[in-house]
């Protein structure tokens, strides 16, 4: 992935997304004339895949004075254990205190999504996994969710914004809507082939009107060598995509001479289902994962001040002073 370009929103920079007690703390300290150099460390309460650091760095680059602050961070995509310090900020408190809420939120949600994606990618054993979860989250965070999925191990994502952040091309071809409106799977696939650029893979969705095997053979006959894959997305009302269905589609495609056509599976895919497909020898060439990633529980992060004007401090239950982590790198 290329270096993503995050731009903090006006709502974040203004403090509108902050917990009110941070805004009140900043107001009180400013009126009291108190503004010490503080060192804050941020760490997770659960293990997982770290994500959100690049967005956090973009925010810190906007708010911290260039020559009067220091920031250390763990790289995006690194694994993290409980209480590993992933971000350390040393600066005068009033420059960054208002943004604790935003920093924790950036790390919490993105790390949860990345961790779920890593679980899917690990289960897939090298078979490509595409993030299809943009429809399950608010549009304001859909791109960040898909970016986090790619950080976690997905080879692609469906949202345009997520692909932009990750520096890749969006993945996906046709929805059921195109087929329903055109009235026929082959007709819709031929229209896609006619109007879309040649570098976009021809992947036909084959569960809309007819049996998946029949539709697969019809589109394969119509497109020939131009057909890259068929996508099986059988709904739960029809029993979802099964191991036997994948094997049946593969057998008939091979029998009719379409061995080049790959099979892509989507619809309710989880790490457990991926494992079931592969353990049973189902010849799946790619998986589309939606809600398992998008609905992942955020990873709880904590932020503690551990030094004030160079003196070690802590609240009860935490150790005073800085916590070492060899993965930390000076980034500002």
Count the neighbouring beta carbons within 10 Å of the beta carbon of residue 139: 10
- Residues 89 and 41: their CA atoms lie apart, in Å, by 7
Q: Are 117 and 249 in a shared domain?
A: yes
Q: Are 228 and 266 in a shared domain?
A: yes
Residue 2 lies in a domain: no
| Full domain range(s) for residue 124 | 112-294
pLDDT of residue 317: 87
pLDDT of residue 1: 63
Residues 6+ apart with CB under 8 A from 1: 150, 151, 166, 167, 168
- Residues 78 and 101: their CA atoms lie apart, in Å, by 22
Q: Are 134 and 244 in a shared domain?
A: yes
Residues of the chain with pLDDT under 50: none
Under 8 Å between Cβ of 24 and 72: no
pLDDT of residue 2: 67
- Residue 38 bridge partners (DSSP): 91, 308
pLDDT of residue 4: 81
Q: Are 88 and 169 in a shared domain?
A: no
Strands (E), the chain: 37-44, 48-49, 70-73, 79-80, 87-92, 129-131, 156-157, 202-205, 227-232, 262-266, 286-289, 301-308, 311-312, 329-330
Per residue in 238-271, pLDDT (tens digit) is: 989 999 999 999 999 999 999 999 999 999 999 9
Q: Are 149 and 280 in a shared domain?
A: yes
- Residues 312 and 296: their CA atoms lie apart, in Å, by 36
Q: Are 272 and 189 in a shared domain?
A: yes
Here the CATH number for the domain that contains residue 140 is: 3.20.20.70
Q: Are 23 and 156 in a shared domain?
A: no
Q: How many domains does the chain have?
A: 2
Residue 37 lies in a domain: yes
Q: Are 284 and 140 in a shared domain?
A: yes
Residue 232 lies in a domain: yes
Kindly give the pairing relationship between strand 329-330 and strand 70-73: antiparallel
- Residues 45 and 319: their CA atoms lie apart, in Å, by 15
Per residue in 85-121, pLDDT (tens digit) is: 999 999 999 999 999 999 999 999 999 999 999 999 9
Residue 4 lies in a domain: no
């Amino acid at each position: 992935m290329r270096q993503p370009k995050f731009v903090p929103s006006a709502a974040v920079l203004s403090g509108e997304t902050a917990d009110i007690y941070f805004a009140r703390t900043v107001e009180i300290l400013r009126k009291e004339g108190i503004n010490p150099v503080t060192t804050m460390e941020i760490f997770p309460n659960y293990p997982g895949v770290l994500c959100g650091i690049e967005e956090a760095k973009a925010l810190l680059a906007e708010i911290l004075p260039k020559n009067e602050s220091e920031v250390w961070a763990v790289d995006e995509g690194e694994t993290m254990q409980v209480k590993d310090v992933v971000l350390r900020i040393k600066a005068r408190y009033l420059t960054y205190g208002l943004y604790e809420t935003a920093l924790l939120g950036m790390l919490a949600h993105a790390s949860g999504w990345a961790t779920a994606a890593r679980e899917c990618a690990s289960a897939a054993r090298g078979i490509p996994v595409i993030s299809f979860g943009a429809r399950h989250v608010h549009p304001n965070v859909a791109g960040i969710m898909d970016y986090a999925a790619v950080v976690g191990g997905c080879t692609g994502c469906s949202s345009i914004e997520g692909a932009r952040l990750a520096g890749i091309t969006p993945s996906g071809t046709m929805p059921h809507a195109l087929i329903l409106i055109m009235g026929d799977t082959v007709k819709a696939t031929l229209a896609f082939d006619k109007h879309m650029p040649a570098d976009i893979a021809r992947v036909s969705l084959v569960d809309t009107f007819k049996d998946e095997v029949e539709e697969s053979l019809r589109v394969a006959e119509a497109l020939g060598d131009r057909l890259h894959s068929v996508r099986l997305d059988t709904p739960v009302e029809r029993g979802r995509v099964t191991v036997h269905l994948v094997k049946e589609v593969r057998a008939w495609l091979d029998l009719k001479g379409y061995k080049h056509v790959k099979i892509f599976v989507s619809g309710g895919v989880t790490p457990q289902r991926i494992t079931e497909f592969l353990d049973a020898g189902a010849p799946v060439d790619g998986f589309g994962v939606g809600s398992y990633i998008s609905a992942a529980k955020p990873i709880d992060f904590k932020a503690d001040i551990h030094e004030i004007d160079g003196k070690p401090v802590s609240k009860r239950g935490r150790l005073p002073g800085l916590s070492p982590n060899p993965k930390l790198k000076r980034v500002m």
